[in-house]
A = this chain, B = another copy of it.
Amino acid sequence: MTVSDVVELEGHIIDSGLMERAFTVVMELGGEFDIEEFRVGTSKDEESYCRMRVIAEDEATLHPILHELHQSGATLAAPTDATLEPAPADHVVPDGFYSTTNHPTDVRVDGEWVPVGNIEMDCAVVVEGVERAPDGTVEPTGDGDVTAETRVLNGIGEGDLVVTGDAGIRVKPPERPRDSSGPFGFMRGGVSAERPSASLIRDIAEAVAETKAQGGHVLCVAGPAVIHAGGGPGLARLVREGYVDAISAGNGFAVHDMERSMYGTSLGMDVETMEHPRKGHKHHIYTISEVIRAGGIEAAVEEGLITEGVMYECVENDRDFVLAGSIRDDGPLPDTITDAVEAQNAIREQAREADLVLMLSSLLHSVAVGNCLPSTTRTVCVDINPATVTQLLDRGSAQAVGMVTDVGTFVPMLAEELLE
């Protein structure tokens, strides 16, 4: 006695690795398969198709297999509507809720495929514009469009209709670019350890320029090491010249950046060598204290306290910035969002708008931004620690590149490529 179900795979399912993944999932999770139909694209541009019956000894084995196949991009051959269950309480998901991937996703409601808005990993999907009868059937209310979107736990309210199970859901993992030409062709997911650094920086510069040329939005996630290592002036120029549209950072980044502006030259210290006792931590506190006195970063720029640097250019050129607080912060600055949930929401807005994200030496902030990114957003990760780069790349982005290098040489060289 076995149970089974039929799934379909379509597209460039061989070279995207989907077929391999599907076979592996079935075998690793203890199932069997029976290929009912297989048409291979006979040329490079032709898509392939596979209809596969998945067989397992019981539902408890079959279910996780189907779930995984789903998440990888397979669809049930005979689509039914998605099941919707009301959330039992605020911030609580119903039993069996569907947990999202970061890939483009549709849910089937009342026979129609509805795209899931603001796709983000590990969320629930809430459907609006429908009502659910006691027997579980769902109908449009007719008051507006039927819509679906991802929600993190604290965005769920009691009674929200949440998708459960795997039925009626369609996931489309983006395919990696099929060749390595073009300005984004080098972003193929790996850490480029044995590439000449200068030529890789040139490629990244070209990808940034191309993104801007296409009207895209570049978000830069930056850690304090960017400033320590001397990348501040270069990044400030990229903000001024519009190659970077937004900054996502922490309290420390902003303070170090403004400290450079406030105490770099006015007090006669050599900003180049940064040689001063006890690492000038007192200036760190002073900087925060003065910005608090002024009433915030914008006010500090306006009253002439801050006259250069990344934050200065953000204010002067009206670039969006989010400073997310953390438990190691001094101060913090009035601009720093100290509540983690609020900060996540602000980061989420930034992430959704981005077409290319530069992650520079900031594990915490890069993970936070990365958590909110769909797999279709281009990503460049730069860090001197290879483990950090590997961790950041490991989230299924279709076009990504990692570079293990010194941010203190990377930023000036990138700025030179783009601006000179």
Q: Tell me the smallest distance from the CB of A415 to a CB of chain B, in Å.
A: 11
Q: Report B-chain residues with C-beta under 8 Å of the C-beta of A20.
A: 14-17, 19-20
The answer to whether B14 touches A196 (Cβ under 8 A) is no
A341–B293 alpha-carbon span in the complex (Å): 19
A386–B391 alpha-carbon span in the complex (Å): 12
Which one, B60, B93, B289, B410, contacts A289 given CB within 8 A?
Answer: B93
Q: Report B-chain residues with C-beta under 8 Å of the C-beta of A60.
A: 268
Q: Tell me the smallest distance from the CB of A100 to a CB of chain B, in Å.
A: 10
In the complex with contacts A41-B35, A179-B27, A196-B274 CB distance below 8 A: yes
The answer to whether B338 touches A341 (Cβ under 8 A) is yes
Q: Report B-chain residues with C-beta under 8 Å of the C-beta of A71.
A: 277-278
The answer to whether B38 touches A68 (Cβ under 8 A) is no
Query: A202: nearest residue on chain B (CB-CB)?
Result: B272
In the complex with contacts A285-B99, A328-B364, A196-B27 CB distance below 8 A: no
A364–B252 alpha-carbon span in the complex (Å): 13
A25 contacts the other chain (CB 8 A): yes
Q: Report B-chain residues with C-beta under 8 Å of the C-beta of A193.
A: 228
Which one, B16, B33, B64, B272, contacts A196 given CB within 8 A?
Answer: B272
The answer to whether B122 touches A276 (Cβ under 8 A) is no
Q: Which 10 A-B pairs have the closest CB atoms?
A: A196-B230, A197-B408, A409-B409, A15-B23, A325-B340, A405-B406, A327-B368, A35-B42, A99-B282, A338-B340
In the complex with contacts A328-B364, A332-B340, A385-B387, A67-B277 CB distance below 8 A: yes
The answer to whether A228 touches B386 (Cβ under 8 A) is no
List A212-255 residues whose CB lies under 8 Å from chain B: 228-230
In the complex with contacts A35-B42, A42-B34, A330-B153, A272-B68 CB distance below 8 A: no
Binds B, one of A84-92, A134-142, A299-307, A312-320: A84-92
Q: Report B-chain residues with C-beta under 8 Å of the C-beta of A195.
A: 228-230, 273-274
Q: How many copies of this chain does the complex contain?
A: 4
Q: Report B-chain residues with C-beta under 8 Å of the C-beta of A204.
A: none
Some 25 contacts from A to B, beta carbons below 8 A apart, are: A14-B20, A19-B20, A35-B41, A36-B42, A64-B277, A67-B277, A68-B278, A71-B277, A89-B292, A99-B281, A153-B285, A180-B275, A194-B279, A196-B229, A201-B409, A326-B326, A327-B340, A327-B344, A328-B364, A332-B341, A338-B339, A338-B340, A384-B405, A405-B409, A406-B409
A329 contacts the other chain (CB 8 A): yes
In the complex with contacts A44-B32, A386-B386, A387-B385, A364-B406 CB distance below 8 A: no
Q: Report B-chain residues with C-beta under 8 Å of the C-beta of A36.
A: 42
Question: In terms of DSSP, what is the predominant structure of the interface of chain A?
Answer: mixed
Q: Show the binding face of A for B, using Cβ within 8 Å.
A: 14-17, 19-20, 23-30, 32-36, 38, 40-44, 50, 60, 64, 67-68, 71, 88-89, 91-93, 97, 99, 122, 124, 152-154, 178-180, 186, 193-199, 201, 228-230, 268, 272-279, 281-282, 284-286, 288-290, 292-293, 324-332, 336, 338-341, 343-344, 347, 364-365, 367-368, 371, 384-387, 404-406, 408-410, 412-413
In the complex with contacts A153-B330, A229-B196, A273-B195, A38-B40 CB distance below 8 A: yes
Q: Report B-chain residues with C-beta under 8 Å of the C-beta of A368.
A: 326-328
Q: Tell me the smallest distance from the CB of A162 to a CB of chain B, in Å.
A: 10
Q: Tell me the smallest distance from the CB of A189 to a CB of chain B, in Å.
A: 12
